Structure 1
Amino acid sequence: MESLKMAQLIDLDDIVKIDEEVIGNISRCEFIKKSIEEERCIIANDKDLIVGFLIFDTHFFDCNFISLIITKPTERRKGYATSLIEYLINISPTKKIFSSTNTSNIRMQEVFKANGFIKSGYVENLDEGDPEIIYFKSK
């Protein structure tokens, strides 16, 4: 049975392991730690194992912005990203929720579309030759 909750520092190592599995290094460890300390990291558990996490903030024009959603590769396509997004929408202090992904990340674009997000614009020059698509959803 899946459960969702704010991450605690005791969860840090498990979250960083999932992130490392996806990006190949632990370069975001301090970023993840800070998001946990600031209560901006939500985790999805299944059978007492962390299977995914979402990090957000409200610094994007005073709107909620999902800066990172990661699901353990072996646990993808099971609805965890959707559950994390829905949880965030329910606790969001803002009516508008934004996020982004690269034009090359088709899987994440599908997740946003399936969760009712619409394209809101593009940002060039973040990743060479791979523009960032900004997505938006209203509560």
Structure 2
Amino acid sequence: MLQSNDLGEVVNIDSEVIGNDSRHDYIKKAIDEARCIGVKHENAIMGYLIFDTHFFDCSFISLIIVKPSERRKGYATSLIQHFINIAPTTKIFSSTNQSNKQMHEVFKKNGFIQSGYVDNLDEGDPEIIYYRSI
């Protein structure tokens, strides 16, 4: 689990991906509540995963973010596999936009199956729900 002293580095990665630091408080809360997992290489954070258990009392991975310069090196898979080992429930859900082809491949590679979709979150780009049982 990431610690409060990792917050700045995590927010920097997030800002690099989305273009701003609007999720600062969300990330801080996840770190404070021990719901934020990081993956490091040579003492630098390469990516992080945030989860909760508010999705029908099941685990839900709400964010998986990897530094753009470090993608396609197995960091997202490492985060997911670690979470599978520590998940507080036997069902894990997550989601990604239909347009995010790389993330679809990551989910499939890690044993997730499509479980539905939600329209109207991002106009013209449905959110695809994924599921995995432990």
User: For this structure pair, what is the TM-score category when the shorter chain's length is used for normalisation?
Assistant: over 0.9
1:8 corresponds to 2:32: no
Uncovered stretches (5+) of structure 1, i.e. residues with no partner: 1-5
- TM-score, structure 2 length as denominator? 0.99
Matches within 5 A, 1:57-136: 57-136=52-131
Cα distance per residue 1:44-89 (max 9 Å; x no partner): 0000000000000000000000000000111111111001001111
1:93 Cα deviation from its structure 2 partner: 1.2
Give the superposition deviation at 1:131.
0.5
Distance between the aligned counterparts of 1:65 and 1:31, measured in 2? Answer: 15
> Could you report, residue by residue, the CA deviation over 1:87-112 in whole angstroms, capped at 9, with x for unpaired residues?
11100110000000000111111110
Alpha-carbon distance in 1 for matches of 2:68, 2:112: 23
| 1:133 CA displacement | 0.2
1:40 corresponds, among 35, 38, 49, to 35
Name the CA distance, whole Å, in 2 between partners of 1:103 and 1:58: 23
Match of 2:49 in 1: 54
Runs of 4+ aligned structure 1 residues displaced above 2 Å come to: none
Q: What CA RMSD, in Å, does the superposition of the two structures yield over aligned residues?
A: 0.5
1:18 aligns with 2:22: no
